Amino acid sequence: MGHSDQDRVVIFDTTLRDGEQSPGATMSHAEKLEIAGLLDEMGVDIIEAGFPIASDGDFEAVRAIAAQAQTAVICGLARANLNDIDRCWEAVKNARRPRIHTFIGTSPLHRAIPNLNQDEMADRIHETVTHARNLCENVQWSPMDATRTEDDYLCRVVEIAIKAGATTINIPDTVGYTAPRESADLIRMLLEKVPGADEIIFATHCHNDLGMATANSLAAVEAGARQIECTINGLGERAGNTALEEVVMALKVRNDIMPYQTGIDTTKIMNISRRVATVSGFPVQFNKAIVGKNAFAHESGIHQDGMLKNAETFEIMRPEDVGLTETNLVMGKHSGRAALRSKLNDLGFELGDNQLKDVFVRFKALADQKKEVYDEDLIALMQDGTDAESDRLQLKALKVTCGMGLPKVAEMTMTIDGSEHQVEASGDGPVDAAFNAVKALFEHKARLQLYQVNAVTEGTDAQATVTVRLEEDGKIATGQSADVDTVVASTRAYINALNRLLIRRQKSGADRPEVSYKDVS
């Protein structure tokens, strides 16, 4: 690596691979393609698109992402065996810039799993990295659980991987166990001790189990790592991965003490954060750094007073740096189509005329129910993927009675495969009664894994965004809907999740299309 590009830090996003491994965060094929497109557009250098051997669905998603990629390197993950590596290459080879990422667990705990001693594992690493390099010029290798591997053995296997042709060596903190000083020392040691280490790029891949993923990644960069592996919103199993928005904004805001550049267009951060939250069904905590709802809100009186006098008093970055538009221009029922289009453009949504027509009708209906329609309301409107014309189940009418001492009863009309059906059902509460009505009209074995309600804005007339996650035979689907009526939003979200399960059921069932889509659960 020449000195001229020493200050460039490569951003490697694994939202679609490591992020998608969070229990319940399963995305559909179309959603993966959409997220990959947004990552590419925002300037992510490498997109880890999936684990091709895991399932046919994963393989097809990686292959489709490779085909559509414009500038990003597209990478697939493979374990240390020839089958995995061949399948990975098959999936990424049509990308303009493909990469194979292969790994093996090198710590004593992980060596015990395949029952290999140090020499046997060293041979396996030499063989598999060589095989990957013969297929693809761009090869990344990871010693899984590196932070708990003996130093001398880590140096030995890293040297083997470099000699076998790996161009990037990733040092993963698989269990989120390291701390900043140790993270830096590890990279520094490898750069000093391993022959050829100055010829390749070291990467850092941190988990957030102790809340230090961002700090550990930045410490590794200061020690000489030049690739950060991260996910949008810090999505990932357990406590998640390093959050892309945090490391990117830290490098930007504190460029005085961390003089490194990334290629990320930070104004696109907010939009992709919202999309990932929606499609994964994992909402962003309000106080989350950079992308949380409260990250730029100043509630306390002293702060508000200071903010009005000078924004820099309490703000180290501007909302517009991360794509939060300052124009919180409130829309109302007299706002026209052009105003709506320009507002949605500001929020990162570009609409064709037909789409605009559909959204405008829904906007007017909402404006009749709410005096003021805020940015968040419009975003919820745009992300409400319910009642598509192609859906097999569609909610037509719903009336619920409830109250203290009253029976909770839902009267429902639903269209199933084009024909209307009606039912009356009771339950413990209004939402339970509505869900029971859906079950009565459309029998199914899906289990409710998650039911979550969030108010979109302040006020008693706020819309509720409801997220519902269903599980059936190991397949998971998430549905979402927003409405000023919480029971309506809940029912729509439930039906939305059922429609998605039906698509998955169909794809793995007898009426299987050419591509079978089995989900990685």
Q: Would you tell me how many other CB atoms lie within 10 Å of the CB of residue 103?
A: 23
The runs of H, that is alpha helices, within 199-268 are 213-222, 244-253
In a domain, 518, yes or no: no
Answer yes or no: is 1 within a domain: no
User: How far apart are alpha carbons 419 and 14 in whole angstroms?
Assistant: 43
Segment holding 402, helix H or strand E: none
Q: Is the dihedral of CA 106, 167, 39, 54 positive or negative?
A: negative
Residue 421 sits in the same domain as residue 373: no
Of 304, 322, 340, the position where a domain reaches its end is 322
Which domain, by its residues, includes 409? 393-508
- The answer to whether residues 465 and 375 belong to one domain is no
Query: Are residues 246 and 366 both part of a single domain?
Result: no
For 300-330, the three-class secondary structure string (H helix, E strand, C coil) is CHHHHHHHHHCHHHCCCCCHHHHCCCCCCCC
* 346 and 397, same domain (yes or no): no
From first to last of its 521 residues, the chain has per-residue pLDDT tens of: 444 455 899 999 999 999 988 877 778 888 899 999 999 999 999 999 999 999 998 999 999 999 999 999 999 999 999 999 999 999 999 999 999 999 999 999 999 999 999 999 999 999 999 999 999 999 999 999 999 999 999 999 999 999 999 999 999 999 999 999 999 999 999 999 999 999 999 999 999 999 999 999 999 999 999 999 999 999 999 999 999 999 999 999 999 999 999 999 999 999 999 889 988 888 899 899 999 988 876 544 445 565 556 666 667 888 889 988 655 567 777 788 888 888 888 777 888 888 888 888 888 888 887 777 877 788 777 877 555 667 899 999 999 999 999 999 999 999 999 999 999 999 999 999 999 999 999 999 999 998 989 887 777 778 888 989 899 988 888 888 888 899 999 999 999 899 988 887 776 653 333 332 233 22
Sign of CA dihedral 438, 444, 445, 451: negative
CB atoms near residue 317 (< 10 Å): 14
Element housing 399 (H / E): strand 393-401
Q: Could you tell me the sign of the dihedral formed by the alpha carbons of 289, 290, 292, 298, in that order?
A: positive
Distance CA 260, CA 226 (A): 9
List strands edge to edge, sheet with 409-416: 393-401, 409-416, 419-426
Residue 444 sits in the same domain as residue 466: yes
Is 230 found in the same domain as 97? yes
Residues 352 and 484 in one domain: no
* Same domain? 249 vs 351: no
Q: Which residue has the tokens 């409801």?
A: 466
Looking at the structure, do residues 214 and 333 belong to the same domain, yes or no? no
Read off the pTM: 0.82
Domain of 412, CATH number, reads 3.30.160.270
CB atoms within 10 A of CB 397: 10
Question: Domain check: are 12 and 135 in the same one?
Answer: yes
Task: Say yes or no: 332 and 438 in one domain.
Answer: no
The answer to whether residue 288 sits within a structural domain is: no
**Domain assignment of residue 515, yes or no:** no
| 418 Cβ neighbours under 8 A, 6+ residues apart | none
Our CA angle for 338, 342, 343, nearest 5°, is 115
- 207 labeled part of a ligand binding site: yes
Pull the structure tokens for residue 104. 């093996």
- Residue 314: predicted pLDDT: 66
Number of domains the chain contains: 4
Q: Under a CB-based contact definition with an 8 Å cutoff, are residues 43 and 264 in contact? A: yes
**Does 131 map to a domain?**
yes
Q: Is 475 left (phi over 0), alpha (psi -120 to 50) or beta?
A: beta
According to the model, what pLDDT value does residue 515 have? 30
32 found inside a domain: yes
350, 482: one domain: no
β-pairing verdict for 139-144 and 98-105 = parallel
Provide the pLDDT for residue 399: 96
205 marked ligand binding residue: yes
Token duo for residue 309:
């006098």
CATH code of residue 189: 3.20.20.70
Q: How far is it, in rounded angstroms, from Cα 186 to Cα 328?
A: 46
